[in-house]
Amino acid sequence: MLKIKKNHQGFTLVEIVVGMALVILVFLGIYGALVAVLRTVGQTTAEAIAITLANQKMEEVRNLAYNQVGTSGGIPSGSIAQQENVERNKISFNIRTTIIYIDDPFDGVAPVDTLPIDYKRVKIQVSWPSWMGGEFLLISDVAPKGIENTQGGGTLKIKVFDASGNGVSQADVHLVNLRVTPNIDATYKTDNTGGLVLAGAPTSTEGYQITVSKGGFSQERTYGSLEMANPVKPHSSVFEAQVTEISFAIDKVAFFSVATHAREGFDDDFNTAGKIASSTDIVVSGGEVKLDKISGVYKDIGVLESNSINPAGLLNWDRVYFLDSQAPNTLIRYQVLFATGSGYQLVPDSDLANNSAGYTVSPINLASLDIDLYTNLKLRATLTTSDSAFSPIILAWHLIYNTPLIDNINFHLKGSKILGTDTVGNNIYKYSQSLNSNSSGQATVSNLEWDSYLFLSTTTTGMNLTEILPSSPSVNLLPEQNQAIVLYFQAQNTLLVKVKDASSSSWIFGASVRLINNPLGYDVSELSSSKGEAFFTPLANSSYQLQISALGYQATSTSINVNGNTVKNISLVAE
């Protein structure tokens, strides 16, 4: 008889995974529904409590005599607190009460209306900033019995704009006046057009200190004569039966992302021939390069080449500048050469357009050169004349390049907006700060107002700011903008140490190079690169102790005077 064998094995792994997934989906659905119910119940409870608190506060206002309806430190003044915090059902609530006079346009507005305080408007805002946060707003007008109130004072009319001239709604206007009794210290909100009208303000000459702000926005305020001699926006005055209008400009804050790079260079002003590698039919004298003469007649053509330019820590090549004087019938053409295994040759036109023909207009842009291929450059100049009585003249040339980010560089940032002047007429700027890049050579400057900013070098770092990207000398920053800035600094004094094997003249990689100046508190160590180079910047113009050691070599030390861009060659002897 045929027997059927039953499979008594358990669930497979796939079945278990699918089953668990279904359970999790069901659980998440139930959990989500439960959270939604709890949120709805909690929100409904909070709203009900907020409505009750608002009505209680409004009832408190209605039980006051008309002349007592006001806030402590506000306009009008009264006994109602501007801010209160209460807790109900384990929920924290903030009660904000604002009471202002209303100048109803029905009978005209100030200054035409000589009694502009027609009635009072009470606004009670109850908010709860929890995970189910929200707010409830209750507004009511309170009018006097009989004729309009005859209380004196003037009207303060405030307008808040953004950078585009649009009104800023719900901006905070903080008003302080300690020269009137009772003192005023109150905060109001602008309306949907950015406006705020405070009728019935007590008269006061330059007594109203006004600060306008909003979350995520810049701030603007008035200033007193004790803060600066001549403020552009002094504290406001209010005069009897007159309207004082004052405007403020705020907008969303922005920030700069700053990177500080070192900029170095090869330069020659030809006071000596020390930076010329080779020349033919050329004379260098008194800061000038000319064609050679024979019997008072200039040669037709002459050529010179600079020393090799082989920077340590090269980030990118930048530009070649030259300064010359070319009389009629004379010409100078400049070219760029690079090192090969057998010497130097012209950078091909495919990488540096028109290099084979030569350049006659400064500068030459080298930014496109590949630093992995073009690690070592030279400059060449060819001088020609077709009038033997005249020679073209080279006065100077300068090749600049950039090295990686440098840390802890101090720079100054100054905006163009002026708050006023001091007692001797010097401008007081709204933003003027000294800043530092961090250990990574970067700095984030946040909470900045839209403005035109200047980046300036300081005198304390030994570094001169030579260029700003994307623009120079000022940078326009727009509201809510993140503007990336690159600052290029050139050290006043640097030291390049080149370490090689004494016998083979090959570069030594990984040599320990230590530079010390105890009086200055300077003690920095670097490892030599694959080119045998260690670079120190910025440095003071001073004498240093240099200590060099490498595995398998005898250590050595020497003193060196650093003045300008100094290069020191060190040869180590094998043990």
Number of domains in the chain: 4
Domain presence at residue 270 = yes
CATH of the domain at 202: 2.60.40.1120
Domain presence at residue 10 = no
How far apart CA 562 and CA 492 sit, in angstroms, is 10
**Rounded CA Rg of the chain:** 38
Q: What is the pLDDT of residue 366?
A: 95
Q: What is the pLDDT of residue 472?
A: 67
Domain presence at residue 6 = no
Q: Buried (b) or exposed (e) across 332-344, using 16+ Cβ within 10 A?
A: bebbbbbbeeeeb
Same domain, 281 and 430: yes
Same domain, 397 and 374: yes
Domain presence at residue 506 = yes
Q: Which of 516, 517, 518, 510 is CA-nearest to residue 553?
A: 510
Same domain, 330 and 422: yes
| Residue 181 CA: distances (Å) to CA of 71, 72, 82, 244, 300 | 14, 12, 18, 20, 93
Same domain, 223 and 83: no
How far apart CA 498 and CA 265 sit, in angstroms, is 17
How far apart CA 116 and CA 101 sit, in angstroms, is 8
Q: Are strands 301-306 and 377-385 parallel, antiparallel or unpaired?
A: antiparallel
How far apart CA 494 and CA 535 sit, in angstroms, is 8
Structure tokens at 211: 């600060």
Q: What is the pLDDT of residue 46?
A: 83
pLDDT tens for 87-109 read 888 888 999 999 998 888 877 77
Same domain, 270 and 237: no
Q: What is the mean pLDDT of each run of 10 residues along the chain (575 residues)?
A: 49 72 73 60 78 88 88 92 89 91 79 79 87 83 68 89 96 96 95 94 95 97 94 94 94 95 84 92 93 94 94 85 93 96 94 96 93 94 95 93 82 95 94 91 95 85 80 86 89 86 91 94 88 83 94 94 87 93
Q: What is the pLDDT of residue 42?
A: 65
**Structural domain harbouring 201:** 152-252
- Choosing from 109, 144, 179, the residue where a domain stops is 144
- Choosing from 120, 144, 168, the residue where a domain stops is 144
- Choosing from 439, 468, 491, the residue where a domain stops is 491
Strand partners, 397: 268, 322
Same domain, 414 and 521: no
Q: What is the pLDDT of residue 174?
A: 97
Strand partners, 428: 420
Q: Which residues contact 440 (CB under 8 A, 6 or more apart)?
A: 405, 407
pTM over 0.85: no
Q: Which of 257, 363, 260 is CA-nearest to residue 317?
A: 363
| Residue 496 amino acid letter | L
466 SS3 class: strand
Q: What is the pLDDT of residue 237?
A: 95
